[in-house]
A and B are shown apart, each in its own frame.
Chain A
Amino acid sequence: MQDEKYQYKVNEIYGKEMTMSNKLLEIKDLYVDAEEKEILKGINMQINKGEVHVIMGPNGSGKTTTANAILNNPIYMKRNGSILFDGEDITNLKTDEIARKGIFMSFQSPEEIPGVSVTNFLKYAKNKITGEPIKIFEFKSELKKYMEELNMNPKNMERSLNVGFSGGEKKKNEILQMLVLNPKLAILDETDSGLDVDAIKTVSKGIEMFKNKDNAILIITHNTKILNSLKVDYVHVLINGKIVKTGKQELAKEIEENGYSKFK
């Protein structure tokens, strides 16, 4: 009884959010196969609201598999374990349902969709995610604002999604989508790879704009460049399908200097 009374007061003073758990994503003992090969061998991870996490690891360690497994890409097979998001089991939900719960992934190689303009695509997607009609004028000015911040050519708005975009334009476009769709959890899969220094700065700027105390970011990368301009809460080292070490930002520095050999 005591607790309930206390709870009531907290609700009254701070609003409901304060009493809810801060926990956003929880991965429990996750085993995943790709093409009948075991890739993830028991992953455990917890991401709270307001946090920035990084998964680092050499090629083939299972980084992209982790991202795809969270979004339940049907080509990956979950053999064991569960994924909870906002307290709800999303392990076997369809990808679009997971997206509508508030998880976004920036793709390593974004797909080209001919004949569908960036504007129309985002309008459509935002409507699906929010379930609300889109106010065109508001939407366009929001889009324009973000594109300016990301140094994107406004002409790209009317171009077919990712068609003929350079590598850098595609990655910026992913960040643009993240800003417009405004998820609770953004997974950035190798968003920094193949980008020059300026583009990495722009991408980091986008991430800073997105970040707030109610959402979280999971960055997947095999190099540390992007971490120089971004404050990170946790770094996880993924080797051969297992998280072998979790630490603070310094862990990334250590890897930058010494590589992964000491974790193998």
Chain B
Amino acid sequence: MSKTQINEINRNIYDIKNKDEYEFKIKKGLTKEIIEEISKQKDDPEWMKEFRLNALEVYNKLELPTWGPDISELDMNEIATYVRPKTKLNNSWEDVPEDIKQTFDKLGIPEAEKKSLAGVGAQYDSEVVYHSMKEDLIKQGVIYTDMETAVREYPELVKQYFMKCVPVYDHKFVALHGAVWSGGSFVYVPKGVKVEVPLQSYFRLNSPESGQFEHTLIIVEEGASLHFIEGCSAPKYNKVNLHAGCVELYVKDNAYLRYSTIENWSKNMLNLNTKKAIVGKNAKMDWVTGSFGSKISMLYPMSILNGEGAKTEYTGISFAGKGQNLDNGFKVIHNNKNTSSVVNAKSISKNGGKCTYRSLVRINETATNSKSSVSCESLMLDDISISDTIPVNDIRTDEVEFSHEAKIGKISDKAIFYLMSRGLSEEDAKAMIVRGFAYPISKELPVEYAVEMNNLINLELEGVIG
């Protein structure tokens, strides 16, 4: 049998580079002057300017994490933290400039809106270029807009929630985010309103040597429900790009929120994103994540189960290829009784890629009669790929049901032979096994995304066999 040979995968549509055109690009680096300039460019209210400058001070005080992947190659003096595209926010797709529109067209964004979404946002570099939502949701009082508009038009709501769930001193890149954040989505679902069809924001970073720092703030009031989808991608450049977004989710009593992500950043991206949810009484927070891109990813969504009977479920998959180090996982804090968490994490690594599942389950003394069940499974497609599991379980009461299961495996030659004996080529057999492995995750994704994920898996496996 011939030796395994890996070709650079064809990232087709994701790699379309538009000319680095912008209306304004801040000079590289991170100083007080630069932050003040960003604030001025964005026409911030005074309180937000103060907020940014304070975050910068916190940033300068905090150290880089001493654990996880090595991110020393990141030099903030080489990153432009603000790039304003050459267009304002549009409410009509027709008004979006042609090259930007074409990019999103190719990514299927307006198409998806027509078919299956209640609202769409599209961010290009640092600013949201398009936002729209169905009329009936507006009538029911649902707010779905870009973060800047929210700061201007709903200052009281924003002040009440902005970076309260994820405070700036959480870690260095949250502080950075607080100082330079731009773009992102704001969603407010009033009490009892059930948004049946998903809302989706898509984030595209086109400009080289720059960062994207979008802020997503979602408030789902009592008894309300929402499914929010985010997609991200970028073309590949030779220099490092940085993504340090922040997602804050407030799921009030008896509310439901599902947050789905397909992340397909280019493989020069450092993805240092922070996501957190506060979950109220008998509320439920579901996370569904597919992570394919990035050079380095450090991403650990977190649910804080504050209300009695609060529930959370995390379903996620990471796929690391050559040169990728995906350090992903999930954190949950059980603070109240009868709370429950279910984790189903999977990872696939191939061609020297590294996947680490890093997690925290903390069940506090107050969280009696709670349940947590964690299952993580890794699949390595060859001998040079790496997979690791680093769980931290901090259980502070005896009255809990807790289980943790971890499996690390390789594609068995027997299974490949079995499938080949049914007429499948070696490549088809491997792809079928990998798709099957990913199926429990892909079935949780909206259908277009599940299809995209299967395409990504096929792309990733193309040319694996020489």
Give the interface of A toward B (CB within 8 A): 71, 73-75, 94-96, 98-100, 104-105, 107, 110-116, 121, 124-125, 128-129, 160, 177, 181
Collect the chain A residues with CB atoms within 8 Å of residue B419's CB.
111, 113, 125
The smallest C-beta distance from A134 to any residue of chain B, in angstroms, reads 13
24 contacts between A and B (CB under 8 A): A74-B417, A94-B420, A94-B425, A95-B417, A95-B421, A96-B421, A96-B423, A96-B424, A96-B429, A99-B420, A107-B418, A107-B421, A110-B418, A111-B412, A113-B415, A114-B437, A114-B439, A115-B435, A116-B436, A124-B424, A124-B432, A128-B425, A129-B422, A181-B423
User: Which residue from A96, A99, A104 sits with its C-beta under 8 Å from B426?
Assistant: A96
* 1/0 contact string of B403-435 vs chain A (CB within 8 Å): 000000000111101111111111011001101
The smallest C-beta distance from A69 to any residue of chain B, in angstroms, reads 12
Q: In the complex where A73-B417, A75-B413, A111-B415 touch, is A116 in contact with B424 (Cβ < 8 A)? A: no
In the complex, what residues of A have CB within 8 A of residue B426's CB?
94, 96
Known: A75-B413, A96-B426, A124-B432. A115 touches B420 (CB 8 A): no
Can you name the residue of chain A whose Cβ is closest to the Cβ of B443? A115
Q: How far is the CA of A107 from the CA of B432 in the complex (A)?
A: 19
Distance of A110 Cα from B419 Cα, bound (Å): 10
A95 to B415, CA, bound (A): 13
Chain A residue nearest in CB terms to B433: A113
Residue among A94, A115, A128 making CB contact with B440, cutoff 8 Å: A115
Smallest distance from the beta carbon of A234 to chain B beta carbons, Å?
A: 24
Distance in Å from the Cβ of B275 to the closest Cβ of chain A? Answer: 26
Q: Which residue of chain A lies nearest to B442 when distances are taken between CB atoms in the complex? A: A115
**Bound complex: CA of A95 vs CA of B421, how far in Å?**
6
B: interface residue count bin: 20 to 34
Asked whether B179 is an interface residue with its Cβ less than 8 Å from the other chain, the reply is no
Q: How far is the CA of A69 from the CA of B32 in the complex (A)?
A: 72
Asked if B219 CB lies within 8 Å of chain A CBs, one says no
Main secondary structure of the interface of B (DSSP, over half): helix
Pick from B426, B428, B432, B435 the residue with the most CB of A within 10 Å.
B432
Task: Report chain A residues within 8 Å CB of B425.
Answer: 94, 96, 128
Closest residue on chain A to residue B418 by CB atoms: A111
CB of A223 to closest CB in B, whole Å: 24
Query: Does B438 lie at the interface of the complex (its beta carbon under 8 Å from any beta carbon of A)?
Result: yes
Give bound CA distance, A169 to B426, whole Å. 26
Q: Are A113 and B417 in contact (CB under 8 A)?
A: no
Quick check: B436 and A114 within 8 Å, CB to CB? yes
Is the CB–CB distance between A115 and B438 below 8 Å? yes
In the complex, the answer to whether A128 meets B424 with C-beta atoms within 8 Å is yes
Chain A residue at minimal CB-CB distance from B427: A96
Partner of A111 from the list B414, B424, B437 (CB cut-off 8 Å) is B414
Residues of chain B lying within 8 A (CB to CB) of residue A128: 422-425, 428
Q: Is the CB of B438 within 8 A of A125?
A: no
Is B424 in contact with A115, judged by CB distance below 8 angstroms?
no
One of B414, B424, B435, B436 near A125 (C-beta < 8 A):
B424
Known: A75-B413, A115-B435, A116-B432. A95 touches B440 (CB 8 A): no
- How far apart are A90's CB and chain B's nearest CB, in angstroms? 13
> Contacting A115 at CB < 8 Å: which of B422, B428, B436?
B436
Q: Which residues of B contact A107 (CB under 8 A)?
A: 418, 421
Does A129 contact B423, Cβ atoms closer than 8 Å? yes
- Whether the pair A125, B422 counts as a contact (CB closer than 8 A) is yes
**Inter-chain contact A115/B414, CB cutoff 8 Å:** no
Q: Which residues of A contact B440 (CB under 8 A)?
A: 115
B1 at the interface (CB under 8 A from A): yes
Q: How far is the CA of A113 from the CA of B428 in the complex (A)?
A: 13
Given the interface pairs A114-B436, A160-B436, the reply to whether A100 lies near B417 with Cβ below 8 Å is: no
**Interchain CB contact under 8 A, B414 and A99:** no
Known A-B contacts: A111-B418, A116-B435. Give 15 more (CB < 8 A). Answer: A71-B421, A73-B417, A94-B426, A96-B426, A99-B422, A104-B421, A111-B412, A113-B418, A113-B436, A115-B437, A116-B433, A121-B432, A124-B424, A125-B424, A128-B428
Structural contact, B422 and A177, CB atoms closer than 8 A: yes
B444 → A minimal CB distance (Å): 12
User: How many angstroms from the CA of A160 to the CA of B437 in the assembled complex?
Assistant: 11
Q: Which residue of chain A lies nearest to B1 when distances are taken between CB atoms in the complex?
A: A74
In the complex, A105 Cα to B420 Cα: how many Å?
A: 11
Collect the chain A residues with CB atoms within 8 Å of residue B414's CB. 111
Q: Which B residues lie within 8 Å of A94 (CB)?
A: 420, 425-426
CA distance A95 to B414 in the complex (A): 12
Residue of B nearest to A162 (CB): B418
Q: Which residues of chain A are near B412, meaning CB under 8 Å?
A: 111
Residue in B423, B432, B435 with the greatest tally of chain A CB atoms within 10 Å: B423
**What is the CA–CA distance of A74 and B412 in the complex, to the nearest angstrom?**
13
Q: Which residues of A contact B435 (CB under 8 A)?
A: 115-116
Distance of A167 Cα from B276 Cα, bound (Å): 46
B420, A96: Cβ atoms under 8 Å? yes
Residues of B within 8 A of A160 (CB): 436
Contacts of B422 in A (CB 8 A): 99, 104, 121, 125, 128-129, 177, 181
A177 to chain B, nearest CB (A): 7
- Nearest Cβ distance between residue A132 and chain B, in whole angstroms? 12
Closest 7 CB pairs of A and B: A115-B436, A115-B439, A128-B423, A95-B420, A116-B436, A111-B418, A125-B422
A115-B437, A124-B432, A128-B428 known; A100 and B413 CB under 8 Å?
no
Given A113-B432, A113-B433, A115-B439: A100 in contact with B423 (beta carbons within 8 A): yes
Contacts of A110 in B (CB 8 A): 418
Nearest-Cβ distance from residue A116 to partner chain B, whole angstroms:
4
Q: Is the CB of B423 within 8 A of A105?
A: no
A115, B431: Cα distance in complex, Å:
12
Q: What distance in Å separates the Cβ of A220 from its nearest Cβ neighbour in chain B?
A: 15
CA separation between A132 and B429, bound complex, in Å? 19
In the assembly, what is the distance between CA of A177 and CA of B420, in Å? 13
Q: Find chain A residues with CB under 8 A from B413 CB.
A: 74-75
Q: What is the chain A residue whose CB lies nearest that of B419?
A: A113
Expressed in whole angstroms, the Cα–Cα distance for A58 and B346 within the complex equals 43
Instruction: Report the minimal beta-carbon distance from A185 to chain B, rounded to whole angstroms.
Output: 12
Q: Give B432's nearest chain A residue, CB to CB.
A: A116
B412 and chain A: residue at smallest CB distance: A111
Instruction: Write out the residue numbers on chain A whose beta carbons fall within 8 Å of the beta carbon of B439.
Output: 114-116
Smallest CB–CB gap between A133 and chain B, Å? 15
Closest to A129 in B: B423
- Min distance, Cβ B408 to any Cβ of chain A, angstroms: 15
Report B49 CB to chain A, min CB distance, Å.
Answer: 51
